Amino acid sequence: MNDQISLFDDDNSSGISELQKEYRELVKTLNYHCDRYYNEDAPEISDYEYDMLNQRLKAIEREHPELISEDSPSRRVGWKAEKGILVKHNVPMLSLQDVFEREEVDSFVDEVRAEYGDVEFLVETKIDGLSMALRYENGDLKLAVTRGDGITEGEDVTMNAKVIKDVVKKMPHPIEYIEIRGEVYMTREAFRIVNEEAEEEGKPVFANPRNCAAGTLRQQDTRITKHRDLSLFIFNVQESRGRTFTKHSEGYEFLRENGVKTIELYYTCRTKEEVWDAIQKIGEARGSLAYDIDGAVVKINDLGVREKMGNTIKFPRWAIAYKYPPEEKETKLLSVEVATGRTGRVTPVAVFETISLCGTKVSRATLHNQDFIDEMELGIGDTIIVYKSGEIIPKIKGVNKAKRPSDWVPYRMPDVCPSCGAKLVRNGSEADLKCVNLACPGTIVNSIANFLSRDCMNCKGFGIEYIRKLVDAGYIKDVSDIYTLKDKRDALIEEKILGLERNTDKILAAIEESRLTSGPDRVLAGLGIPGIGKASSKELIRCFKSIDVIAGLSVEELMTAGDIGQITAESIRGFFDDESNKALLERLKRYGLCFEAEGSAVEGSSLEGLIFCITGTLPGMGRDEATELIEKNGGKVTSSVSKKTNYLLAGEGAGSKAAKAATLGVPVITLDDLNNMIAESGQ
């Protein structure tokens, strides 16, 4: 890092120019990733990669303070909260100064001891989660707030905090007032369960436990928060009235007396050797913990010394966070296993000679897709570099090409499904290969769940557990078998597959109702063709009236429908060319599903060609109903406001979308306005 900085001399104008470009690009890149991390809970790079970029930014700013810009992430503590109800911070929720080398740790300890004498330090785990403060009055929990921007305000998450098992709602030994700060996190086991459920339901999986915990704490539905089983460790007393603490450890003792779960792994130290030894011990324990940590915190125990040292605008001066370097080892790639998941995604997994990382034995790691494999230039027999960067999931960093075998060939994924042999497809710009055979054993449960979902056949009460039981018992082999279940009623009741008689009859009736009331657009959406969802299936039926007609169209003809590009058209063509899919469609027709639109009801209407976005709470109508009303009358609904949006349909609590509409000049209308638009055209 220092070598890089020395390349830029103050009297080297071209160097400074290049440095300015690098600096501006770093600011832009880091701000983008901050937004993905804090507001979207969907980071695109690892913490280690972010830290390295941030270290480079700080190095430039130290050497060239004249370059520091107002939008630099170094000038910000957190990230402004944009969701939910905002709450003012009583005590700033500052971040910690990150360090990466032993010399930096030693320097911190030496400077403190030189100024304040024989100071006691605590070294404790740095939990990889989401920071939250809890305020209690006379022992009763009154408010829970996220970090937000760290200085001014955060989000009120009180209702969600109250369903977290580790949050004490009433302290048995209360004081007048206390605010405590901790880290909301998710154990690896809880995270595994959440991702398994998401995959079964065909929903996106979370990247890691931290992202999942952050997204869950912001949920509007507390039932989801409770179901996802969040956890909490408290690591600081922010403020108190009615009791004075002189040491940080005294605060921990008081909290534990009140049933509050505090950081469980910490060491009391005095010398820099003891501090470093404690950091090493925590690092060695990472693999045995049930949760992720991303470092060790070194903090002064004496609160009086803390007060004297004070804070910078961003960090407390009395604490640092040591970030562990990613542990990595070389091993030999033995094979690649390819499996089809419930969503149809085909995933390659590297199988390598077992190694130990962060205290655990690992022998497998995902290879993601063919693009990743090509980027790694990977082949069987290669010596690969595997690492963990504060995460439980092992990752492949690269290949040691110097150890490459003489008979090396690059690895290529198969072009057919490993479960059923069907041709795999790649949709548009997506990197993943998918199996679209609705009868594929690897995808059958999720295919049926999609077919019966609200946006498709809308078969109420037919949950994924029932689907799994029916598949396991051999009653269902593909979606067409759903319509043979009525002939097996007695057996289903006897085996209690769908519950007792009453529930079985209820589900069979729901199947029949959905068959009779679902139009061809719902049937088409339910087929699971890559790129074809609720909106595009309606557009196809609007244009061509019939699934049979669509099945016979060329790629060029399919592309005449709105929003159907070449990739999607090729995907449709490939689906209808598959012999197993043809046979399935014939069975669905035989069982009486609707393949053709009635009359001209799907043709133009009062909202033809108009694009709407919906936000806020509409009076007497849900968003799904409003979407259906707009689409029924020829309009389209998108999830975000853009220059292409014709109208923003806004209800109470419209929020940021209304502001963006005003900026772009997009008209904002009410539900009454929408109904008037429809009525004025005689619809």
**Domains of the chain (ranges plus CATH)?**
2-75 (1.10.287.610), 86-322 (3.30.470.30), 328-403 (2.40.50.140), 433-590 (1.10.150.20), 611-680 (3.40.50.10190)
Take residue 184 and report the two structure tokens written for it: 């909301």
The alpha carbon dihedral of 248, 251, 257, 260 has a sign of negative
| Predicted pLDDT of residue 79 | 47
| Predicted pLDDT of residue 491 | 93
In contact, 232 and 164? CB cutoff 8 Å = yes
| Predicted pLDDT of residue 661 | 84
C-beta contacts of 654-659 below 8 A and 24+ residues apart: 654/615, 654/616, 655/615, 655/616, 656/82, 657/613, 657/615, 658/615, 658/616
The backbone torsions φ and ψ at residue 97, rounded to the nearest 5 degrees and listed phi first, read -70, 120
Task: Report the SS3 class of residue 319.
Answer: strand
Q: Which regions of 536-682 does DSSP assign to beta strands (E)?
A: 611-615, 636-638, 647-650, 668-669
Task: Report the SS3 class of residue 366.
Answer: strand
Beta bridge partners of 30: none
C-beta contacts of 249-255 below 8 A and 24+ residues apart: 249/122, 249/301, 254/173, 255/180
C-beta contacts of 397-403 below 8 A and 24+ residues apart: 397/328, 400/330, 401/377, 403/330
Q: How many residues does the chain have?
A: 683
- Residue 590's contacts (CB-CB under 8 Å, 6 or more residues apart) are none
| Predicted pLDDT of residue 6 | 33
Task: Report the SS3 class of residue 266.
Answer: strand
In eight-state DSSP terms, residue 122 is: E
- Catalytic status, residue 126: yes
Rounded to whole angstroms, the Cα distance separating 391 from 264 reads 19
Take residue 412 and report the two structure tokens written for it: 């290529």
In contact, 381 and 412? CB cutoff 8 Å = no
- Residue 331's contacts (CB-CB under 8 Å, 6 or more residues apart) are 352, 353, 354, 355, 383, 384, 386
In contact, 416 and 346? CB cutoff 8 Å = no
Instruction: DSSP for 382-431, please give it.
Output: -EEEEEESSSSS-EEEEE-GGG--TT-------SB-TTT-PBPB--TT--
Rounded to whole angstroms, the Cα distance separating 473 from 484 reads 14
Nearest to 532 by CA among 560, 569, 566, 559: 569
Nearest to 191 by CA among 163, 210, 178: 210
| Predicted pLDDT of residue 529 | 87
The backbone torsions φ and ψ at residue 193, rounded to the nearest 5 degrees and listed phi first, read -65, -45
Amino acid letter, 4: Q
| Predicted pLDDT of residue 548 | 92
Rounded to whole angstroms, the Cα distance separating 547 from 570 reads 16
Task: Report the SS3 class of residue 301.
Answer: coil
Edge to edge, the sheet with strand 668-669 lists 636-638, 611-615, 647-650, 668-669
The pTM of this model reads 0.51
- Residue 629's contacts (CB-CB under 8 Å, 6 or more residues apart) are 621, 674, 678
Amino acid letter, 367: L
Q: How many CB atoms lie within 10 A of CB 329?
A: 14
Bridging pattern class, strands 319-322 and 97-99 = parallel
The CA-based diameter of the chain, rounded to the nearest angstrom, is 89
| Predicted pLDDT of residue 682 | 53
Distance of CA 316 to the CA centre of its chain: 30
pLDDT along the chain (683 residues), means of 10: 35 58 84 64 64 81 80 62 73 92 95 95 94 96 91 90 94 96 93 79 71 84 88 96 95 96 95 96 86 92 95 92 87 92 82 81 88 93 83 82 93 90 80 81 81 88 84 89 94 90 91 92 90 85 90 90 82 90 92 81 63 84 80 78 87 76 88 84 52
Which of 28, 88, 126, 477 is labelled catalytic? Answer: 126
